[in-house]
Structure 1
Amino acid sequence: MPASDASSTESIAFGPHLRGLRRGAGMTLKQVAGRAGLAVSTISKIENDRMSPTYDVLLKLARGLDVDLMTLMGEPARQASEAPAGRIDVTRAAERRAYPTGTYVYEPFAMRLTDKLMDPTLARITARALDAFPDLVRHPGEEFVYVISGAVELNLEFYAPIRLEAGDSVYFDGRMGHAYVSVSDEDALILNICAGVDGDDLGDLTNGMLREPSAQGGGGRG
């Protein structure tokens, strides 16, 4: 990421924030772990900043705490009634917040909106080897990535690794295991957009972040 971009973001201490959400909900580690399908030790390590959550783990934590991803990542929640047709959210460069996960640094856009049909995120790829990931990342929906700078290697569950240079893009099924590794001298910078799938169980698949899926086509949260 260029120095100007890096200096414009505020890094979030995710562990203490997660602990605060859990305690505010009156839930124990064991309760959240059971609802999220994660080990108690995993959540404890994340809360104490000894482990960085991957994207799929963030989705599971949101489900365990019964919050949307926006709330989980530190923005104040808004009620759906506050989101009329024609809504808009502008993300200024100086307002972006950085969420380091050990392998990526996420900088989400439009964090003041709830019930979004897609999740656009700027991501700096800090991982340099596949063994930096405890497992490949998987999540509901589909994913689109455009490489802004540097070069990444996309490792996929069913395909040989794909090298993507600046200006290249890829679109794939997010349920397929995947992980990005920077293969340039500098950290690679990508635009990542996740969207969900249609179906009656879309709300369940997306931890309730899409509660009223369209009956005809359309995307959703990944």
Structure 2
Amino acid sequence: MDPETDEVLDAVGPRLRALRRARGITLTDLAHRTGVSESTLSRLESGQRRATLELLLPLARVYDIPLDDLVGAPRTGDPRIHLKPIRRAGMIFVPLSRQPGGVHAFKMIIPAQPKPLEPTPQTHDGFEWLYVLNGRLRLIVGDRDLILPPGEAAEFDTSLPHWLGSADGAAVELLILFGLNGIRAHVRPDHRENARPSP
């Protein structure tokens, strides 16, 4: 085997462990969802067992990411990025960053609402940063109720009660950065919503 292939395969275990922890999934949960034993998953993550297609395919399905991204396969020269939207709580998140762990970037789309939604502020550990691309965003953070037009940005501690929505019922598009806890709170996979057809 060539050194580049060895290097990719050696990095699979730590990558899988980081991805599982970033998603907030235990080995027990993962074993239940994939049908792969907990001990096999543990050995795979620690590098004591070599990754095989038979082991990686169920993991790619559970994590809902392409197999190449799961193992960190080298690029084949095709510059296209195949983005897969995540639907969550009536919003659409398009992942723009590809590595497990750390801060993740998303394009977030709040669809047009014929009737304004009642704000339901939530809290979680972490932080968020956002930049409005199109539309008018209503942002509630703590006791502040703000309207952000295109070109405005905000950053806030998500341990404060916060809520994002359309200011006028029209669609809103924004760029958003989440720390790991923000990813778990907002874009953890919800297979029922992911299964719905695109509008």
- When Rg is computed on C-alpha atoms for both structures, the one with the higher figure is 2
Match of residue 147, structure 1, among 115, 132, 137: 132
In 1, Cα distance between equivalents of 2:140 and 2:130: 13
Question: 1:104 is aligned with what amino acid?
Answer: M
1:91–1:101 CA distance, 2 compared to 1 (3 A): farther
Identity %: 17
Residue aligning to 1:78: 70
The match for 1:114 is 100
TM-score (norm 2): 0.50
Is the Cα contact below 8 Å between 1:104 and 1:127 reproduced in 2? no
Aligned pair partner of 2:91 in 99, 104, 114: 104
Deviations 1:166-191 (A, max 9, x none): 00000000222222111245310000
Runs of 4+ in 1 over 6 A off after TM superposition: none
Structure 2 Cα separation of the partners of residues 21 and 74 of structure 1 = 18
How do 1:161-176 residues align onto structure 2 when only pairs under 5 Å count? Answer: 161-176=145-160
SS in 1 for 2:144: coil
Question: Against the structure 1 CA distance between its residues 73 and 153, is the aligned structure 2 distance closer, same or farther, given a 3 Å change threshold?
Answer: farther
Kindly indicate whether the alpha-carbon contact (under 8 Å) linking 1:150 and 1:188 is maintained by their aligned counterparts in 2. Answer: yes
Counterpart CA distance in 2 for 1:182 and 1:21 is: 40
Q: In the alignment, which residue of structure 2 is the partner of 1:188?
A: 172
Q: Residue type matched to 1:137 in 2?
A: Q
- Hey, what does 1:178 align to over in structure 2? 162
Residue by residue over 1:32-51, the C-alpha shift from the partner in whole angstroms, topping out at 9 and shown as x without a partner, is xxxxxxxxxxxxxxxxxxxx
RMSD: 4.0
Secondary structure at the counterpart of residue 161 of structure 1: strand
Report which of the two has the higher share of helix: 2
Q: What is the TM-score with the length of structure 1 in the denominator?
A: 0.46
Letter in 2 for 1:99: I
CA contact (8 A) 1:126 1:181 kept: no
105 and 196 in structure 1: CA distance in 2 versus 1, 3 angstrom threshold: closer
Q: Which runs of 5+ in 2 are unaligned?
A: 1-29, 38-58, 185-199
Q: CA deviation at 1:141?
A: 1.4
Task: Assess, with a 3 A threshold, how the Cα gap between structure 1 residues 102 and 206 changes in structure 2: closer, same or farther.
Answer: closer
C-alpha spacing 1:97/1:137, structure 2 compared with 1 (3 Å): farther
Give aligned pairs, total.
128
